[in-house]
Chain A
Amino acid sequence: MWDYTDKVMELFYNPKNQGLLEDNQEPGIAVVFGEVGSIACGDALRLHLKIDVDNDKILDARFQTFGCTSAIASSSALTELIKGLTLNAALQVTNKDIAEYLGGLPEAKMHCSVMGQEALEAAIFKYRGIPIAVHEEDEGALICSCFGISESKIRRVIQENNLATAEQVTSYVKAGGGCGSCLANIDDLIAAVTKESALNIATDIATAQEQLQRPLTTVQKIALIQKVLDEEVRPLLIADGGDVELYDVEGDRVQVALQGACGSCSSSTATLKVAIEAKLQERISQKLLVEAV
């Protein structure tokens, strides 16, 4: 049995904003819907939005969902999250926000929250007249033919959720969950995305240092350390059941708190020196020293 939170069960048994919105041709009001999924895949969501045209604002949101408990709860959560937002603000809502609103989802059910985010984009892009082909299934080949998942969609979910394994990708967007023949390709994509994001960080650092022509300020240093930890270190630790939090930075001394499995792991010193310190030295400054608190 799935380990659903009380919030998921509450929104499943008593969903908010179910149903559809009729277009009553009111002046200054647009009604639009976006849909994702299909009956073949086992889940589908049709999201209806009522938009205040002048203010670019979502006045009301309703959903119709074919799917499991968490798909229905995620849809309902999405409508609660976006009501009252401007369209630009709504586009900032991610699948993580939906999952957090629900107090978390079992990892194998994360694709339900991803579906919510996609339906929202589909509806807004449709309203703005951006053709589907431009934002969806765009560049990049089809990776998972069982579920029809493109490279760009997989890249995005890896980036946004810091995914480190093909199994996680399957939980988030289903890719690889059918015949499994694309799992190796997904592994390659994870490696590629991780490498690209590492390059991005390197560029950020170089740019920051070049622009200023002087050493990093403390604020810049802390921001960079946090970024490297979030994007390059934590995904690896989380995959092993641990985590790390930046505690403080004094000059070149970086204090971190090891968490979860890392806190009690016998190789935590090695983790500290090899995985964290070496990475920060490589990325930011050779002078940095990492210690646990």
Chain B
Amino acid sequence: MQTCIYLDNNATTKVDPEVVEAMLPYLTQYYGNPSSMHTFGGQVGKAVKQARQQVATLIGADDSEIVFTSCGTEGNNAAIRAALQAQPEKRHIVTTQVEHPAVLNVCKQLETQGYTVTYLSVNRQGQIDLDELEASMTGNTALATIMYANNETGVVFPIEQIGLRVKEYGAILHVDAVQAVGKVPLNMKTSTVDLLTLSGHKLHAPKGIGALYVRRGVRFRPLLVGGHQERGRRAGTENVPGIIALGKAAELAQTYIKDVKHEKQLRDRLEKTLLETIPNCEVNGDRKNRLPNTTNIGFKYIEGEAILLSLNQYGICASSGSACTSGSLEPSHVLRAMSLPYTTLHGSIRFSLSHYTTADEIDRVLEVMPLIVERLRVLSPFNNDQADWLQGREVLAVGNGL
């Protein structure tokens, strides 16, 4: 297989070799069921308990507050449904226009079931307005479900300030922290967050394992009903190797999170140098409040998929919010919600680093990126913001179809 420069860590991450080592015996030797009464299964139960403690420690929670799930999507679905079931008389939900589909589409479905949903807008920097949040809250609001950090831009929302406002109205706060856990220090003990979703494969554990933090005292009804696993909060025989892997990844993340400066320095150098060496490009998103590993840059007058396939030729992996990569024909709902001009939007590229990223890899990107952009710009009929090329469709994108 081709080796690659992997700068797509917000999509998924490399499984840490130590994580693989930790989980392997649970695929081969220790295959017992943790619920069994015999010692053979019981020892597996102990390992699961330890993993639960490791995950709890990473986010400053108690181990009884951790529910293992299969992925971030399951965590979000379970959290939102549980929060609503706990307060059946309240019929209003607050979220943002830039959530992951695993939250947005759940909310859209709930709208067809009699719920009212407020989708908070974001400004050009991808940041929400706390006054708009406050104005949208009512006594009828059951839940605010707001992401910690955006997967496309890395923009971090002021979760604790959000939490204070949500608590004033007695609503539950759910936070999709899939992109934040392992990159930003979290402490649930001093937080206003009630429910928090995390996913293993974003922090160097394998795909197919995640966890949901459920604050003690928050009423919780399971999404999956069946056996008594996870204290009746998530039925189904435990994915033991996945759980052990997530535990180990959480333990390792505690070390890496202290060393996040490395990623940030590389990200900043990548971003700064690209902006200096390539004309007509700009960073999408609030640069002050952002994940340390993510940069989203719009290269004007060229199209994102063509940039990605050009990078691919050099073995460089990244992502784009362009229409041609989305599977639909519309560009990214996040960038559209930010009202970015079409000239920038279609040529947006996300580079997301990890602690595995090296200075040499960043140098290589800095070497080839100007050539790629130059080549595609020579091919393009556009080279400025002259309005007639936009053919009457305004420079600003119009909402995101919500």
- Where the two chains meet, the residues of A that have a C-beta atom closer than 8 Å to any C-beta of B are 2, 9, 12-13, 15, 18-19, 35, 38-46, 64-69, 71-72, 108-109, 146-147, 170, 174, 177-179
Which residues does chain B contribute within 8 Å of A46, judged by CB atoms?
381
Contact B393 A38 (CB under 8 A): yes
Contact (Cβ within 8 A) B305 A15: no
Q: A39-B382, A64-B381 are in contact. Are A179 and B401 (CB under 8 A)?
A: yes
Most buried by A among B309, B327, B328, B390: B309
Contact flags (1/0) for B345-357 with A, using CB distance below 8 Å? 0100000000000
Assess the A35–B330 pair: CB atoms within 8 A: no
Please give the residue numbers on chain B whose beta carbons come within 8 Å of chain A beta carbons, in ascending order: 301-306, 309, 313, 322-324, 327-331, 342-343, 346, 378-382, 389-391, 393, 401
Could you tell me the distance in whole angstroms from the C-beta of A175 to the nearest C-beta in chain B? 9
List B contacts of A109 (CB < 8 A): 324
Whether B306 pairs with A68 at a CB distance below 8 angstroms is yes
Chain A residue nearest to B322 in the complex (CB): A42
B residues within 8 A CB of A42?
303, 322-324, 329, 331, 342, 346
> Are B303 and A66 in contact, CB atoms less than 8 angstroms apart?
yes
Q: How distant is the Cα of A73 from the Cα of B148 in the complex, in angstroms?
A: 40
Taking A68-B322, A68-B324, A178-B330 as known contacts, 17 extra A-B pairs with beta carbons closer than 8 A to each other, sorted by chain A number, are A39-B342, A39-B390, A40-B391, A41-B393, A42-B331, A43-B303, A43-B324, A44-B381, A44-B382, A66-B302, A66-B346, A66-B381, A68-B303, A68-B306, A108-B327, A109-B324, A146-B330
Minimum Cβ distance to chain A for residue B6 (Å): 15
A68 to B309, CA, bound (A): 9
Is B329 a contact partner of A170 (Cβ separation < 8 A)? yes
Given the complex, which residues of B lie within 8 Å of A178, measured CB to CB? 329-330, 401
Does A65 lie within 8 Å of B379, measured CB to CB?
A: yes
Cβ-defined contact, A35 with B381, below 8 A: yes
Complex Cα–Cα for A164 and B331 (A):
26
When distances are taken between beta carbons in the complex, the residues of chain A under 8 Å from B329 are: 42, 147, 170, 174, 177-178
Name the A residues within 8 Å of B391 (CB-CB): 38, 40
Across the interface, which residues of A come within 8 angstroms of B303, CB to CB? 42-43, 66-68, 71
Return A114 CB to nearest CB of chain B, in Å. 13
A12 to B390, CA, bound (A): 24
The smallest C-beta distance from A21 to any residue of chain B, in angstroms, reads: 13
A39 to B381, CA, bound (A): 10
B327: chain A residues at CB < 8 Å are: 108
Residues of B with C-beta under 8 A to A179: 401
Q: In this complex, what residue of A is CB-closest to B309?
A: A69
Smallest beta-carbon distance A179→chain B, Å: 6
Residues of B within 8 A of A44 (CB): 381-382, 389
State in angstroms the CA–CA spacing of A9 and B330 once bound together. 24
Of the candidates B323, B331, B343, the one having the most CB atoms from chain A within 10 angstroms of its own CB is B323
A177 touches B328 (CB 8 A): yes
B306 touches A39 (CB 8 A): no
Q: Are A38 and B379 within 8 A (Cβ)?
A: no
Question: Contact check: which of A9, A39, A170 meets B346 at CB < 8 Å?
Answer: A39
Which residues from B are CB-within-8-Å of A13? 313
Judging by beta carbons under 8 Å apart, are B309 and A40 in contact? no
List chain B residues, Cβ under 8 A from A43. Answer: 303, 324
Say whether B393 contacts A18, CB under 8 Å: no
Q: Which residue of B lies closest to A44 (CB)?
A: B381
Residue pair A12, B309 in contact (C-beta under 8 Å): yes
- Inter-chain contacts of B381 with A (CB < 8 A): 35, 44-46, 64-66
CB-CB under 8 A from A177, the residues of chain B are 328-330
Residues of A within 8 A of B324 (CB): 42-43, 67-68, 71, 109
Contacts of B323 in A (CB 8 A): 42
Smallest CB gap from A177: residue in B: B329
Contact of A69 among B306, B330, B343, B393 (CB under 8 A): B306
- Is the Cβ of A40 less than 8 Å from the Cβ of B390? yes
**Which A residues lie within 8 Å of B390 (CB)?**
38-40
CB of A28, distance to nearest CB on chain B (Å): 27
Choose from A19, A38, A72, A108 the contact partner of B306 (Cβ within 8 Å).
Answer: A72
Please give, as numbers and ranges, the residues of chain B lying within 8 Å of A72 by CB-CB distance.
Answer: 306, 379
B300 nearest in chain A by CB position: A39
Residue of A at shortest CB range from B312?
A1
Contact A69:B328 (CB < 8 A) given known A38-B390, A40-B390: no
Q: Provide 22 A-B residue pairs closer than 8 Å at the C-beta atoms, listed in order of the A residue.
A: A38-B391, A39-B342, A39-B390, A40-B342, A40-B390, A42-B303, A42-B323, A42-B329, A42-B346, A43-B324, A44-B389, A64-B379, A64-B380, A65-B379, A68-B304, A68-B306, A68-B324, A69-B306, A69-B309, A146-B330, A174-B329, A178-B329
Closest to A42 in B: B323
A66, B301: Cβ atoms under 8 Å? yes
- Tell me if B389 and A67 are in contact (CB < 8 A): no
Tell me, in angstroms, the Cα distance from A108 to B324 when the chains sit together: 9
A18 to B378, CA, bound (A): 9
The smallest C-beta distance from B313 to any residue of chain A, in angstroms, reads 7
- Chain A residue, CB-CB nearest to B389: A39
